[in-house]
Amino acid sequence: MCGIVGAIAQRDIVPVLVEGLRRLEYRGYDSAGIAVLNGSGALKRVRTVGKVQILQDAIDGSPTHGPIGIAHTRWATHGVPSERNAHPHISDDGLAIVHNGIIENHEALRAELSASGYTFTSDTDTEVIAHRIHHHLKKGGTLLEAVGHTVAELEGAYALAVVSESDPERIILAREGCPVVIGLGKNENFVASDIAALLPQTRTFVFLEEGDVAEVTRTSVRITDRSGKPVERKIHESELSADAADKGQYAHFMLKEIHEQPRAVADTLQERVANGRLLEAAFGPAATEVFAKTEAVHIIACGTSYHAGFVARYLIEQLANIPCSVEIASEFRYRSPVVPRNTLFVTISQSGETADTLAALRLAKQAGYLSSLAICNVPESSLVRESELVMLTRAGPEIGVASTKAFTTQIAALGLLVVALAKSHGATPEQERTLVTRLVELPGIIEKTLALDPIIQDLAKRFVEKHHALFLGRGTMYPIAMEGSLKLKEISYIHAEAYAAGELKHGPLALVDDDMPVIAVAPNTDLLEKLKSNLMEVKARGGELIVFADPESGMKSSDGVTVITMPKHVSYIQAPVVYTIPLQMLSYHVATARGTDVDKPRNLAKSVTVE
C-alpha cells in the first residue's frame, strides 16, 4: 500500500524522507517521489518508477535539499505505475500533496476543475485534491483552511500531507479512513502513514483520528476535529526499536519471521497465563463480564487473519461449546447482519488498519453486538483504538508481505480466547489447566518443527516447475490447508487451491493427475481415518501426495506418496499452529527456488488500507 513520510526541521530533511520511504518499502509499492521546499521556499520535486534506491539515485543526480518536505511510495489504484502518476502531485504556485486512499467522487471534482481552467498531468484521483486545495487557497485564507474546505468535499478514504510555497513553514495533514501519525521531535516534527518510517527520528507519536485535520510546524502541532473544533490527541510512546525492522542474518524477512515464531508465540502467552490458569489480566476485567454474557461469537477478518478466525471457529465450538461464525470483512460490511442476542464481535488483524476490517467494526458498532474484541499485532492501530476489548498478539513488526508469525500468534491469542470462553461457560479448573498447558507447550513444539527445514527445502525442488497444487485438510486442518495454499500462491505465483478433504470427490478430484502435487496435513485427530480414505482417492488417480503426518498416523512413504513425520503428541489445540509451520517453510523454499521476490511479492501490499 502507499506510504507517506514528511518532515519539518532546521536541517536538510531529504535523508530523513528517503530513509522513511525505505522503511515503508515492505508495504508494497511501484513508484516513489519526494517534494522539498528549499531554504528559500521554492518547491523541488523528484519522482521515479521502481524501488526507493532508484529515487535516491535520481536525487543524487539532481541535488535536492531543504528543511521541509513530503515523500511517498505509491501502490497504483487510479492510473498505471508511471512517473507522471507518482506522488507528490503539484498544483499551481508550488502546492504539493501526497495521498493514501481512494477518492470516490474524483471524476465529478475533476470535471469541475477542468471547466474552471485547471489542467491535469496525471490519471490519479490525488491530483484532483491538489487542484482543489489550490482553488480554495486562491480565494484567500490559510493553507490549513484550504485543506479543511477541500476535505469537506471529498468522498472516500484519505490520509494526506500538503506543503506549499505560499506557506512554507508548515505541513498540513488530514485523515479519513487511512492512518496518519505525527512524530514529535525537538525543534522538528515528522509525519508518516506508519510509525515504522519514523522510528530512527522519534518514539513519541500522536495519531490523528477520523476526520482530523492537523497543522504541523517545527515547534507545534495543532489538530482540529471534523467539526473544526481544536482537539488534543493523546501522546503515545512506542516501545519499538529502530532496528526492529532489520532482517539480521536471514536472507529474507519472511525466513526470519518464520524462525521467530517460538519467541513470538511465547510472548503472546506471557503474563497472560500462569500455573495452568488464564489470568484475568489477559483480556482485562471488563472482558470477564462480557465473556460471561456471551452466547455466540462472530469473527471478521481478511486473508490470513480470516484463516486464523476459521480455526478459532472449530476451537470455540468444540472446546467452549459456544456457537461461532466467521466471515470475510469485505462481505460482511455490505450486508445487513441479523445479530443473535449477546453475540461477541471479534476482529482479527495483523496491521489493525485493513480498510474492510475497520469498516466491519464500525458497522458492528451500530448493529447491536454485545461488545467488540480486537485481536491485533499493532498496539497503536485504529482497530485497537476503536475496539472495546483488545488482545495484542505481540508478534513484533512483521515486514514480509506474506504473514507468518502474525498468523500463529493470532491462533495462540485465539487459544486464550477459547480458554476464557470455556471458563466462563462452565469449564472445570482441570480443563482450564489442560488447555493452558497445551498452549504453553507450543513454542517448544514449533522449535522442533522448524528442525524439519532441510527436508522441506529438498521437497520444495519438486515444485519448481509445477503450475498447480492442491492442499487438503479436515476440521481445523481445513483452514490450515487454506493458509498453506494462500502462502504458496502469493509468494511463488503457483496456482494453489485448498479443499476440505471430504469435498474432493464432489469436483476437484477431476484435477488430480501425476502433474498435480497434493499436500495434506494429517495430525492425529478424530478425523485422521477419514482423511486417509480421502488421500487414497488421490493415490488411486496417480496424484503425487505429500503428507505432513503425526508419527502415530500409520502413514508411510511409498510410490507416489511422501510422508513427512511431524513432532509426536501434538494435541487438538496445538495442531493448527504446529502444522502451519511446514507449509510456511515449503512456500518459502519453493519461492526462493523459483527466484521470486519473497518479501515483496508482485501486486501485493502489506497493509491494505484501501477498500
**How far, in Å, CA of 471 to CA of 478, rounded?**
9
Quote the least distance from Cβ 367 to ligand F6R, whole Å: 20
> What are the percentages of helix, strand and coil residues in the chain, rounded to 5?
40, 25, 35
User: By CB under 6 A, is residue 445 in contact with ligand F6R?
Assistant: no
The number of helix segments (H) and strand segments (E) in the chain equals: 19, 27
Quote the least distance from Cβ 607 to ligand F6R, whole Å: 6
**How far, in Å, CA of 470 to CA of 466, rounded?**
11
Which CB sits closer to ligand F6R, 474 or 489? 489
Quote the least distance from Cβ 289 to ligand F6R, whole Å: 27
Instruction: Map residues 484-503 to x or -, x wherever contact with ligand F6R holds by CB under 6 A.
Output: --x---x-------------
User: By CB under 6 A, is residue 587 in contact with ligand F6R?
Assistant: no
Which CB sits closer to ligand F6R, 59 or 359? 359
Which CB sits closer to ligand F6R, 64 or 580? 580
- Tell me the pairing of strands 468-473 and 517-522: parallel
**How far, in Å, CA of 344 to CA of 48, rounded?**
47
* Contact region with ligand F6R (CB under 6 A), list: 192-200, 286-294, 347-355, 442-450: 347-355
DSSP tag of 322: -
Q: Of residues 349, 485, 534, 592, which one binds ligand F6R by CB under 6 A? A: 349
Residue nearest ligand F6R, Cβ-based = 303
Instruction: At 135, list the grid cell.
Output: 482553488
| DSSP helix/strand/coil, 104 | coil
Q: Of residues 294, 305, 393, 609, which one binds ligand F6R by CB under 6 A? A: 305
Q: Of residues 85, 164, 202, 304, which one binds ligand F6R by CB under 6 A? A: 304
- The count of residues interacting with ligand F6R (CB under 6 A) is 15
Treating both helix axes as pointing N-terminal to C-terminal, what angle do 575-594 and 442-450 enclose, rounded to 10 degrees?
A: 30
| DSSP helix/strand/coil, 186 | coil
Quote the least distance from Cβ 303 to ligand F6R, whole Å: 2
* Contact region with ligand F6R (CB under 6 A), list: 46-54, 120-128, 210-218, 299-307: 299-307
User: By CB under 6 A, is residue 33 in contact with ligand F6R?
Assistant: no
* Contact region with ligand F6R (CB under 6 A), list: 142-150, 266-274, 343-351, 464-472: 343-351
Query: In whole angstroms, how far apart are CA 374 and each of 207, 334, 383, 414?
Result: 18, 20, 7, 11
Of the candidates 406, 241, 207, 372, the one whose C-alpha atom is nearest the C-alpha of residue 294 is 372
Quote the least distance from Cβ 350 to ligand F6R, whole Å: 4
Which CB sits closer to ligand F6R, 100 or 305? 305
**How far, in Å, CA of 250 to CA of 585, rounded?**
14
Quote the least distance from Cβ 172 to ligand F6R, whole Å: 28
8 A C-beta contact, residue 117 and residue 138: no
Binding to ligand F6R (CB under 6 A) within 375-434 occurs at 402-403
Which CB sits closer to ligand F6R, 45 or 487? 487
8 A C-beta contact, residue 122 and residue 85: yes
Quote the least distance from Cβ 408 to ligand F6R, whole Å: 12
Instruction: Map residues 350-369 to x or -, x wherever contact with ligand F6R holds by CB under 6 A.
Output: xx--x--x------------
Say which residue the cell 492510473 belongs to: 79
Quote the least distance from Cβ 65 to ligand F6R, whole Å: 36
User: By CB under 6 A, is residue 608 in contact with ligand F6R?
Assistant: yes
Which CB sits closer to ligand F6R, 354 or 476? 354
521 contacts: CB under 8 Å, gap ≥ 6:
471, 472, 473, 477, 480, 481, 484, 547, 548, 579, 583
**How far, in Å, CA of 69 to CA of 97, rounded?**
10
Instruction: At 373, list the grid cell.
Output: 474484541
Instruction: Map residues 60-99 to x or -, x wherever contact with ligand F6R holds by CB under 6 A.
Output: ----------------------------------------
User: By CB under 6 A, is residue 303 in contact with ligand F6R?
Assistant: yes
DSSP tag of 567: P
Which CB sits closer to ligand F6R, 98 or 482? 482
Which CB sits closer to ligand F6R, 127 or 490? 490
287 contacts: CB under 8 Å, gap ≥ 6:
373, 389, 420
* Contact region with ligand F6R (CB under 6 A), list: 48-56, 150-158, 273-281, 301-309: 301-309
Of the candidates 217, 185, 209, the one whose C-alpha atom is nearest the C-alpha of residue 198 is 185
Instruction: At 163, list the grid cell.
Output: 506543503
Sign of the C-alpha dihedral computed for residues 330, 335, 340 and 343 taken in this order: positive
User: DSSP states of 274-289 as a string?
Assistant: ETTEE-GGGT-HHHHH
Which CB sits closer to ligand F6R, 143 or 586? 586
Instruction: Map residues 222-261 to x or -, x wherever contact with ligand F6R holds by CB under 6 A.
Output: ----------------------------------------
Quote the least distance from Cβ 491 to ligand F6R, whole Å: 8
DSSP bridge partners of 204: 237
* Contact region with ligand F6R (CB under 6 A), list: 298-306, 310-318, 334-342, 470-478: 298-306
Query: In whole angstroms, how far apart are CA 44 and each of 206, 357, 473?
Result: 28, 38, 56
Catalytic residue positions, numbered: 2, 606
8 A C-beta contact, residue 555 and residue 539: no
Quote the least distance from Cβ 419 to ligand F6R, whole Å: 23
Quote the least distance from Cβ 307 to ligand F6R, whole Å: 8
Which CB sits closer to ligand F6R, 478 or 572? 478
Q: Please give the single-letter amino acid code of residue 590.
A: V
Phi, psi (deg, nearest 5) at residue 299 = -110, 135
Q: Of residues 255, 302, 414, 570, which one binds ligand F6R by CB under 6 A? A: 302
Sign of the C-alpha dihedral computed for residues 201, 204, 207 and 212 taken in this order: negative
Strands (E), 313-414: 324-328, 343-349, 371-376, 389-392
For ligand F6R, the binding residues (CB under 6 A) are 302-305, 349-351, 354, 357, 402-403, 486, 490, 607-608
